[in-house]
Structure 1
Amino acid sequence: MAIEAFSEERFPLRIAFGTSGGPERRTDIVRLSTGFEARNQRQARSMRRYDAGSGLKSLADLAAVLEFFEAMRGRLTAFRFRDPLDHASARLGQPITPLDQRIGTGDGETREFPLAKLYGSGEGAYRRPIEKPVAGSVRIAIAGAETVASVDATTGLVGFEVAPALGAAITAGFEFDVPVRFDTDQIAINIAAFEAGDIPTIPLIEVRP
C-alpha cells in the first residue's frame, strides 16, 4: 500500500495548544586566539521542534495522539501542526489584515507570489516561507487595496489572473500551520504512571514539505 509522504491532516488542536517547543538554529562558533569569535550559521532557515507530550491533559488526549501516531505511521508521514505561539501573520492576539506581511512587488509580469512572514526589520530581517496556510484564512491586497487571488493551501502560493502593476506592493494576512512529523517510531505508555503525572515525551520536528 502506497503512503503519502505528507498528509494535510492537522494534529489535534486541543493538544497542540499545550505543547512546548519552538525554533532552533544551528550555529558553529570558533573562538580565535585573539579572543574574538568566528560564527557561522549552518542553515539559512530555522527548524522547529516540539514536545506534544506536554499538551496531554487526559487519557482521551493520550488516546487521540496514539490514534494519530498510527494513522501517520510514526515517522513516515508528515502533517500539519498549529504552533501555539506563532500561527498567524499578525502579532499574537491581533486580528489578521491583508496588510500584515509584504510578500512581493509587482513587475507587470509575475502573477504568482509565495507567502512569507518577516521577523525583525531592515536588511537583517528573517523572511520565513509559509508553505501551509490555513484554507480560507488568507487575505491579499495590492497597493493597499484588498483584492481577490487564488491561494494554494498546500504550497502557500498566491496567484493573480492579471499580474500586479510595476512597483505595486503585494501584501497578505493569514493563519498557517507548521509541517512536522513525529521524531520517534515508538510511543511508550504506562497508564498508571500517566495518571500519576508522568507525562510521556512525544517529539515532533519540522520538515520541508
Structure 2
Amino acid sequence: LLGVVLAFIRRPKVVNDIKFGPSEMEIVKITGHSWKEGFIKGTIPQLPLSVLNSVIAVCKLSSDLFPGREFSATSVSVTVGLMNLVGCWFGALPCCHGAGGLAGQYKFGGRSGGCVALLGAAKMMLGLVLGTSLVTILHQFPVGILGVLLLFAGIELAMTCRDMNSKQESFVMLICTAVSLVGSSAALGFVCGMLVHVLLKLRTPCMP
C-alpha cells in the first residue's frame, strides 16, 4: 500500500492514465516455431532454477516452517506445470510457487493458505477494476520497497542454514551459495555443490 501511495506521489499524472474496467482477453495463437523457440531459449535454461527454487526449496522450506504439513515434490511440480500450461494461452507470464515468496509471506505473518487466497482475490479484483492500467501504476512503484521485501525474504531463507548438522554440510552450502552468486547461475552452484558433496562423502571413511 505504501508503495502505491509513493508511486502516485512520484508521478501524480499517472492518475490520468488510469482506465477502469477489465482488459479484453483473447486466446494467443502459438505457432510451432514459437513452441520450439520457447522450449530452447526459455524452458531449458529455466528448468534448473525452477526445479531448485520452485520445487525442492519450496518443499524443504514448507517442512521447516510448517512441521507436519509437508508437500511432495510431485504435487508441487504438477501445480507449477498446470498453471503455466493454462496461463500461456492467455499471454500470462511464467509462474511458479517460489521459496522466496513463501519465506516473505511467512516473515510478514502468513501462517495459512488463507493469506494466499486473500492475495489472489485482491489481485483478481485489481485486474478486473483497473485492467492494464495497473501496469502503468506498477512502473512507478519504488524499487527500494521491493528491495526491503526481498531482504526480509532472503533473511528468512538464510535461516534454514540452522539445519546444517556438520562442518561438511555447511561447507557444501557455502560452495553452492558462492558459485551461484559469482557465476550468476543457480544451476552451476547446484552442480558444484553436488560434486563437492560427493567428493566429501568419498573422502570420509566408512564407519564400521
With normalisation by structure 1, the TM-score equals 0.22
Q: Which has the higher strand share?
A: 1
Q: Which has the higher helix share?
A: 2
Which of 1 and 2 has higher RCO (CA within 8 Å, sep 6+)? 2
With normalisation by structure 2, the TM-score equals 0.22
